[in-house]
Amino acid sequence: MREHFHEQLDSVFADLAEICHQVEKAVTLATEALMTGDAAIAEQVISGDIEIDRARERVEETAFSLLSLQQPVAGDLRTVVSALRMVSELERMGDLSVHVAKIARLRVPQVAVPVEIQPTIARMAEVAEDMVRRVAQIILGRDVEAAISLGRDDEVMDQLRRKSFTQLLSEDWPHGVEAAVDIALLGRYYERIADHAVSVANRVVFVVTGHNPSAVRAE
């Protein structure tokens, strides 16, 4: 009975990793739509979000079933509850990708990001994609060291966010209020994707060690 229970737990974590892959694809496509002004790609991201929502529902159903039928305690309970929290964060990452795609769609046939700030936004997207990709491996391997490393690397995204603000708030910003609002929102969306990735990684640390990630980092 317990062996079957742990097989189901492993299946839940495999499903979480698969959702990460879906989110990574959404971030990639949303960024492509943003940088090219391609409405069809933006629509693909927006309509495809339902698949992430359905995947979240499947994980939740399995987790709630485990809670009600198996009545886990201690470490097993911690794992199931953490999985429920992780899937919620992953779904939110998908929603943020949709927000990026909606900005892209709103500005068609124009490109939402002015040429001179495209490298900064593209780099933010690249960092976000990489963090989501790494989270999938952290979940599958329950890799504490990689999870802690991801938390440290989040500073790169913070630096890019500050850089984007410096650019759009400069006195010689020539693109008007509308573009400035777009850039501010896009920076926030990519930053929040990274924040959620770190949060998911921190939950993996908690699952494995039973301790708050900050305590593990201090050891």
Rounded distance between C-alpha atoms, residue 60 and residue 217, angstroms: 30
Instruction: Say which residue, 214 or 139, is predicted with more confidence.
Output: 139
Cis peptide before 109 (omega within 30 of 0): yes
User: Would you say residue 7 has pLDDT above 60?
Assistant: yes
Q: What is the mean pLDDT of residues 6-29?
A: 93
Instruction: Say which residue, 36 or 8, is predicted with more confidence.
Output: 36
Q: What is the DSSP string of 89-128?
A: HHHHHHHHHHHHHHHHHHHTTS-SS-GGGHHHHHHHHHHH
User: Would you say residue 2 has pLDDT above 70?
Assistant: no
User: Percentage of the chain surpassing pLDDT 70?
Assistant: 95
Q: What is the mean pLDDT of residues 53-77?
A: 87
Number of residues written out for the chain: 219
Q: What is the pLDDT of residue 218?
A: 45
* Domain assignments of the chain as residue spans, ordered by start: 2-218
User: Would you say residue 135 has pLDDT above 60?
Assistant: yes
Q: What is the mean pLDDT of residues 151-161?
A: 87
Q: What is the pLDDT of residue 27?
A: 97
Q: What is the mean pLDDT of residues 24-46?
A: 97
Q: What is the mean pLDDT of residues 38-60?
A: 97
What is the average pLDDT score of the chain? 91
Q: What is the pLDDT of residue 66?
A: 85
Q: In three state form, how does the secondary structure of 140-174 look?
A: HHCCHHHHHHHHHHHHHHHHHHHHHHHHHCCCCCC
Instruction: Say which residue, 2 or 109, is predicted with more confidence.
Output: 109
User: Would you say residue 219 has pLDDT above 60?
Assistant: no
Instruction: Say which residue, 213 or 24, is predicted with more confidence.
Output: 24
User: Would you say residue 13 has pLDDT above 90?
Assistant: yes
Per CATH, the architecture of 2-218 is what? Answer: Up-down Bundle (1.20)
How many other C-beta atoms are found inside a 10 Å radius of the C-beta of residue 29?
A: 20
Rounded distance between C-alpha atoms, residue 64 and residue 80, angstroms: 8
Q: What is the pLDDT of residue 214?
A: 61
